[in-house]
Amino acid sequence: MTILKKWQLLTLLLVNAVTFNACSNPNAANNKVDANNNAQQKTEATQQPVQKGTSGVQTELDKAKKAGKAVFVVVTGTGATDTDKATTIAKGANGIYKNAIVIQMNRDDAANASLVAEWRLAGAPIPLILVISSKGQPTGGYVLAQATAENIAALVPSPKLEEVYAAIASSKHAIVVFTKKSFVDRTEVIKIAKDAVAKLNNEAVFVEVDMDDSKENGFMNQLRIDKLSTKASVTVVINKQGQVAGTSTTVPDAAKLVAAAKTPVRGGCGPGCGPAGCGR
């Protein structure tokens, strides 16, 4: 079993920005958050002005969703220091991913209580920077000590990854097929994946990812799928908790895909790490 980084697939269980991978070095994430101040400084001159919100935070979120923009939310509150630094980082992220806005949210403002509860921010260290996708899905964030413009911008999901977020937000599994139109197994693999979705009785969604779509490179990199060397479709089962519960690099077995989705993933390596995975 591979548990993707919390800020990548689990809806804001990330308040401490801790990341982990059950099948690799649990400290790896800490080695990936070094600041890149040069890139940040180059982009600051082109930033949009910060749209500050307190009681108007939800209004700004709704406007952004309607406009198809992501949102970088700088969370502040009583006792928070270096808020300006967090805002600068958020602006830098906005320079990298321009189809977005930056807002501030005071978690101690009673008007924001529902968002604080929804995003589980009551005990979070502040300031921190959260990312809301263009469809209004919270997709992760970092505390200031770990935040850089680059890793904040990287939290904006690709279109297909956002479909996975939406599935998890709806308490559904996602069966994701990474394929190419040129692959001879494409039709059969998609048919089997859709069959597995049907067997899960409306508790799963099917997502097809075209490996040739450059917008999905980040999604594939997260799952270590090399589109250049891969010669066959790859099927990944992501359960309701956002965990990779099973994989197949051959034509999969529908029953095994269903079983992987339903089997609770705890510690250690599960179906996705074994040599057979969810294949036949």
Which pLDDT does position 265 carry in this prediction?
A: 74
For residue 228, report the phi and psi dihedrals to the nearest 5 degrees: -80, -40
Please state, in angstroms and rounded to a whole number, the distance separating the CA atoms of residues 171 and 168: 5
What percent of the chain lies above the pLDDT cut of 90?
68
- Residue ranges of E strands in 107-143: 128-132, 138-143
Domains of the chain: 2-153 (3.40.30.10), 159-273 (3.40.30.10)
186-199 and 254-262 are packed helices; what angle lies between their axes, rounded to 10 degrees?
Answer: 50
Helix (H) or strand (E) holding 206: strand 204-210
**DSSP single-letter state for residue 209:** E
Which pLDDT does position 278 carry in this prediction?
A: 67
Question: For residue range 176-235, what is the model confidence (pLDDT) as tens digits?
Answer: 999 999 999 999 999 999 999 999 998 999 999 999 999 999 999 989 999 999 999 999
Place of tokens 């594939």: 220
Task: Give the global pTM.
Answer: 0.70
